[in-house]
Amino acid sequence: MEMSGASGKVAVITGGAGVIGRALAGQLVEAGARVILADIATSSGEALASELGCSFIETDVRDPDDNEKMIAAALDRHGRLDLVFLNAGVSLQSLGASLPYDPASIDLDAYRRILSVNIDGGVFGVSAALGALARSGGGAIVITASVAGLIAWPPDPVYTISKHGLVGYVRSIAPALAEQGITINAVCPGATGRFEPGQIPDGLAVLAPETLAAAMLDIATDTGTGRAASVVADRQPVVQFHEFAEVEGF
């Protein structure tokens, strides 16, 4: 992406205080965008916003009202909305649930939290943003799914449910959003960030958050829509767009 692609744009990032959110916000600010970080982690979110010179709003993405307030804050502060990165997400591992997953013994709290943060956070975020994006002349939504939304991932089937759901949602609503001048895409990263020994399978390549953030900016500022793009370390190209099998009769 040319750095001017985001210049002057107003961008919202959920999960903004996390590893991916930090990298993405930094690149957006460097590109000249005005950024609103949204996260449930207030202290780290406010600290990052102060460091980068952007705004922060405490947001629980599971709550439709919080999503509406997040978008209203962007409009109040900047008068428009152009880019929305729905990046909040959790997994069994991040919640400290027992691993490996046992389908005969479900941790209901972890199960419900994963589905509510990952799926509801995406659905409610899209719903809240559409009116503001349309009134601003169109824009882009990028949802952070996962490689686990494209493949079977036995280590965490609940996380896999949620990410498959996001990919299907993006593909299903893209045609209607295109009529309003809004693109929507799913970015599907492999393991990203920093991990302790034993947290991921041995030999699995780890993606730098900065590499993922650059891919997210590229996807947000081109014209494609309804796509699922994997972003995986140690391969070329790092970003690959995926086709899906047709089903005869549909």
Tokens in use for 249?
Answer: 């009769």
User: What digits encode the pLDDT tens for the residues 43-67?
Assistant: 999 999 999 999 999 999 999 999 9
Q: What is the pLDDT of residue 5?
A: 87
The DSSP code for 154 is: T
Q: What is the pLDDT of residue 205?
A: 79
pLDDT tier, 1 (very low <50, low <70, confident <90, very high otherwise): very low
Q: What is the pLDDT of residue 196?
A: 52
**What are the start-end ranges of the H helices in the chain?**
19-30, 42-52, 64-78, 108-115, 121-135, 157-178, 209-220
Q: How far apart are CA 226 and CA 184, in angstroms?
A: 6
Q: What is the pLDDT of residue 8?
A: 96
pLDDT tier, 201 (very low <50, low <70, confident <90, very high otherwise): low
Q: How far apart are CA 83 and CA 129, in angstroms?
A: 9
Q: Which residues of 6-45 are buried (b: 16+ CB within 10 A; e: fewer)?
A: beebbbbbbbbbbebbbbbbbbbbebebbbbbbbbbeebb
User: What digits encode the pLDDT tens for the residues 157-170?
Assistant: 999 999 999 999 99
- 8 Å CB contact between 86 and 130: no
The residue type at 206: V
Beta bridge partners of 19: none
Q: How far apart are CA 145 and CA 55, in angstroms?
A: 25
Q: What is the pLDDT of residue 192?
A: 82
Average pLDDT, the chain: 94
Q: What is the pLDDT of residue 198?
A: 57
pLDDT at residue 203 is higher than 80: no
pLDDT tier, 4 (very low <50, low <70, confident <90, very high otherwise): low
Q: What is the pLDDT of residue 39?
A: 99
Q: Using omega within 30 degrees of 0 as the cis cutoff, is the peptide bond preceding 237 cis?
A: yes
Q: How far apart are CA 229 and CA 174, in angstroms?
A: 14
Q: How far apart are CA 126 and CA 184, in angstroms?
A: 9
**What are the start-end ranges of the H helices in 60-120?**
64-78, 108-115
- 8 Å CB contact between 130 and 182: yes
User: What digits encode the pLDDT tens for the residues 115-150?
Assistant: 999 999 999 999 999 999 999 999 999 999 999 999
CA atoms within 13 Å, Cβ hemisphere of 160? 10
- Domains of the chain, with CATH numbers? 3-241 (3.40.50.720)
The residue type at 238: V
Q: Which residues are known catalytic residues? A: 159
Phi first, then psi: give them for residue 92, nearest 5 degrees.
-55, -45
User: What digits encode the pLDDT tens for the residues 204-234?
Assistant: 778 999 999 999 999 999 999 999 999 999 8
Q: How far apart are CA 203 and CA 165, in angstroms?
A: 28
